[in-house]
Structures are given as C-alpha cells and as structure tokens.
C-alpha cells in the first residue's frame, strides 16, 4: 500500500502553486507557476533517487532503476499544467501518485525488474496552447517537433519560446525509446463512478475528438447609425453557430459532445457592429462515423449561416483524434489488481482526452480512473475524497509491480 498522508500532503502543497481563492488552480502550461511546480517535482523525484531527463517538448522523465535497466521501462504519470480556472487534482494527481508509487517501492525496499519512468507531459490541457496533449503527441511521433514548438498562445508566444524562457527546452531525445507498458491514473472528470459507488474505473478507451477554430468576418459599422437590414454582424453568425453546434451535439446523445468554449470578438466595443467573431468548436464521439457526421454538419451549417448573414468564414482544424481502444493486457492487469484489492470497479470509456491516447499509439497503454465529486472538473470546485485518492494510487502501485514482471 502507498503512504496516503505523504500523497495528500504533496497534493495540498502543489495546490498552492497557482492556487485560486475558490480552492482551484490556475497553472497554465509554461507559465512561471508551471515552472515552479515542475522544479519541485524534479526535486522530489531526485530525492527518491530518480535520474531526470527532459526532452525538446519539455516532457519530464524521472527514472527509478530496475533490476535490469536494459529492459524497456514501465511509464507512469500524467500532467502538471491546469486549466485557467481548473481543479487541484486534474493531472497533478496522476503525477504525484506515480511519485508516491516510487516512494512506496523505496519504503518497502522493492526493486522491480524493469525501470520505472515517472512522466509529466507538457501542455495536456490545450487551454493556453491548442491543441491539447501536444507534448505526448510529439513524443509519440504523431506531431512534428516543429509543429509542437510553433503552437501559439493568445498573446502570440510560442511553446518553443516559452520552453526556453522557463528552462525546460531539454536536449534528451526519446524518439527511439521503447516502452514496455504505460499507465495513467486520473480523476474521472465525470459522474459515473460516484453515482455507482465505485472506486476504480478501468478505462478501456476514449472518445474520438475533433477540434476547430471557426471565424466569421463581417463589417465593423456604427451601431447607432447602421439600420438593421444592411448589417454584416459577425457576432450574429457566432450566435447562430453556437446554437447549431449545440444541436449537433444533442443529435448524438448520449455519447456525442459538442462544445463552443472559447470566443473572441472584434473590435468588441459596445457601439460597434462586430466584424470578426472567432470561436473554438470541439466534437467528441465514441465512433468515427459519428465524428464524421458531426464534422459534415459543421461545414454545412457554417456555410449556410455565412450565406444567410452575408459573412465570410474560415474553418481551421486544430485537433483530430480517432476513438480508441487501450491495450487488453494493461486493461486486464488493472482489472485484476482492483479485484485483488477489493475495490468496487467498472470498465468505462473516457470522455476526456489524455496523453495516454497518444502513447497508446506507440506502447501498450491503459488508464485508471477514480471518482470526483459530482463529476465536476475543469472547475475550481473539483474535489476528491481521501479514500478515492488512496485507492487509485494503490491500484497504480500494484499494477506497476505486476506489469514489471511480464
């Protein structure tokens, strides 16, 4: 078993790095706060005897040696970055539980056959820099390093620049590094486990995703002097699109999702008709056909709206992930361990994307979920119970020991 007090105290301490008045965390990727949390993670990992490597995307790997370091490692971990008004468990819980697993192995003087790499991925959230999960995407060879470095935040700064600025543009090259198995522990971010009084989610796969930027372009004119019938109001285009996109999601109920989360209006002045309305769109679906259907609907509706309102438009793809199934062996190990530890559990599909989705393309991978209160996540009020925290970390610890023997 892991040491729950230690894990809890780390969680409490990391929650202070970017802590918000309402008990959440604002620790956007590659900010000074992210650097502070990274630095401290490195200190804690070194204390456990780990050696540190950092790749060109700023992904951090802390290795605990095994009996035979020529064997491919077990990879465990998650991400340190947060949403702008996010919770104190999303991501960081998986990183600190992985660290706790290594501390526990040290405490119990257990040496695994294989080395263990604790990983913290760069820019999982996709909030400051889109797309999400770009650190693991570059690591997995799904995206080029050039593309990764070029991702730009709303103020024009790139991931490449910001990595250098905070000192996490590493030189270690992991593209040739082979992983025996990869596990990520995370909060569910949905209500299913809690509603069913279950402690562990055995994650068998994840919804596919498609993200876009859509922009309507109209004409800025004086709101007081311009009659209603001659306007080309880009914000009306946005409004109609938001409603259509919501309908696209509802038509794919219960597992399809459609969300506009980000908007940027120009010139955004009270008495000026909008000439540019930019917004994000994201679709999620368990099937590729479902995603394609949503994609087609989007193009059709945006075109119709633009024609009706006499606007121009652009649709830019930002992220595309197929629905995926994790590795059956990894899934089975998590199931067996949950059973052995007597934790009520269920198999489930993740609605959220995770770095594990990318890693699953290059290594046997699965995930472990614990409940979060009322399914609330990407919200400062995100909360977990101590027994959930311990259960997840115990499953991780035991699954790592099991996988290392295989």
Ligand X SMILES: NC(=O)NCCC(=O)O
Q: Which is nearer to ligand X, 171 or 270 (by Cβ)?
A: 270
Any contact of residue 284 with its own copies (CB under 8 A)? Answer: yes
Position 155 contacts its own copies (CB under 8 A):
no
191-195: list long-range contacts, CB under 8 Å, 24+ apart: 191/374, 191/375, 192/346, 192/348, 192/375, 193/346, 193/348, 193/369, 193/370, 193/371, 194/371, 194/372, 194/373, 194/374, 194/375
DSSP-derived 3-state class of residue 284: strand
Per partner kind, with CB cut-offs from 5 to 8 A, the member of ligand X, its own copies, none near residue 259 is its own copies
Please give the Cα distance from 295 to 307 (Å, whole number). Answer: 19
Is 325 annotated as belonging to a binding site? no
The distance of closest approach from Cβ of residue 270 to ligand X in the complex, given in angstroms and rounded to an integer, is 7
Give the C-alpha separation, 348 to 368, whole Å.
10
Residue 124 sits in the site that holds ligand X (CB under 6 A) = yes
Task: Give the count of residues interacting with ligand X (CB under 6 A).
Answer: 12
Selection from its own copies, ligand X, none that 242 binds (CB < 5 to 8 A by kind) is: its own copies
- With contact defined as beta carbons under 8 Å apart, do 276 and 213 qualify? no
Q: Is 285 one of the annotated binding-site residues?
A: no
Give how many residues touch its own copies by CB under 8 A: 71
Please state, in angstroms and rounded to a whole number, the distance separating the CA atoms of residues 228 and 87: 44
Cβ proximity to its own copies, 96 vs 273, nearer residue: 273
Given candidates 142, 272, 362, 373, which one binds its own copies under the rule CB under 8 A?
272
Q: 79 or 284, CB closer to its own copies? A: 284
Q: Sign (positive/negative) of CA torsion 246, 248, 251, 256?
A: negative
Q: What minimum distance in Å lies between the beta carbon of 406 and ligand X?
A: 27
Nearer to ligand X, 209 or 232 (CB): 209
Q: How far apart are CA 380 and CA 89, in angstroms?
A: 10
Q: Between residue 81 and residue 120, which ones bind ligand X under the rule CB under 6 A?
A: 90
CA distance 340 to 342: 5
* CB closer to ligand X, 96 vs 105: 96
For the annotated binding site for Zn(2+), the residues are 79, 90, 125, 186, 378
């Amino acid at each position: 078993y892991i040491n729950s007090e230690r894990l809890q105290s780390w969680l409490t301490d990391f929650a202070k790095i970017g802590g918000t008045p309402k008990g959440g965390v604002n620790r956007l990727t590659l900010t000074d706060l992210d650097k502070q949390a990274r630095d401290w993670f490195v200190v804690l990992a070194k204390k456990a005897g780990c050696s540190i490597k950092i790749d060109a995307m700023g992904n951090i790997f802390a290795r605990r040696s095994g009996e035979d370091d020529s064997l491919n490692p077990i990879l465990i971990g998650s991400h340190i970055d947060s949403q702008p008004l996010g919770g104190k468990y999303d991501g960081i819980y998986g990183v600190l539980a992985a660290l706790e697993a290594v501390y526990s192995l040290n405490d119990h003087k257990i040496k695994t056959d294989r080395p263990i790499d604790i990983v913290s991925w760069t820019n999982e959230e996709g909030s400051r820099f889109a797309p999400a999960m770009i650190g693991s995407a570059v690591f997995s060879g799904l995206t080029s390093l050039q593309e990764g470095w070029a991702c730009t935040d709303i103020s024009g700064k790139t991931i490449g620049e910001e990595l250098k600025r905070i000192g996490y543009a590493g030189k270690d090259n992991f593209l040739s590094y082979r992983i025996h198995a990869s596990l990520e522990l995370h909060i569910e971010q949905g209500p299913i486990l809690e509603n069913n009084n279950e402690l562990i989610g055995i994650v068998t796969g994840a919804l596919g995703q498609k993200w876009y930027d859509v922009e309507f372009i109209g004409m800025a004119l004086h709101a007081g002097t311009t009659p209603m019938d001659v306007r080309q109001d880009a914000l009306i285009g946005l409004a109609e699109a938001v409603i259509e996109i919501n309908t696209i999601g509802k038509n794919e109920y219960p597992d399809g999702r459609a969300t506009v989360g980000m908007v940027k209006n120009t010139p955004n002045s009270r008495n000026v008709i909008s000439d540019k309305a930019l917004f994000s769109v994201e679709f999620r679906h368990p099937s590729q056909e479902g995603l394609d259907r949503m994609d087609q609907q989007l193009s059709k509706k945006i075109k119709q709206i633009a024609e009706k309102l006499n606007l121009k438009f652009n649709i830019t793809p930002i992220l595309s992930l197929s629905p995926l199934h994790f590795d059956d062996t990894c899934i089975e190990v998590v199931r067996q361990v949950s059973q052995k530890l007597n934790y009520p559990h269920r198999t489930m599909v993740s609605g959220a994307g995770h770095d594990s989705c990318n890693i699953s393309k290059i290594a046997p991978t699965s995930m472990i979920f614990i409940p979060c209160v009322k399914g609330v996540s990407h919200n400062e009020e995100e909360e977990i119970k101590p027994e959930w925290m311990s259960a997840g970390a115990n499953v991780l610890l035991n699954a790592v020991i099991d996988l290392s023997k295989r």
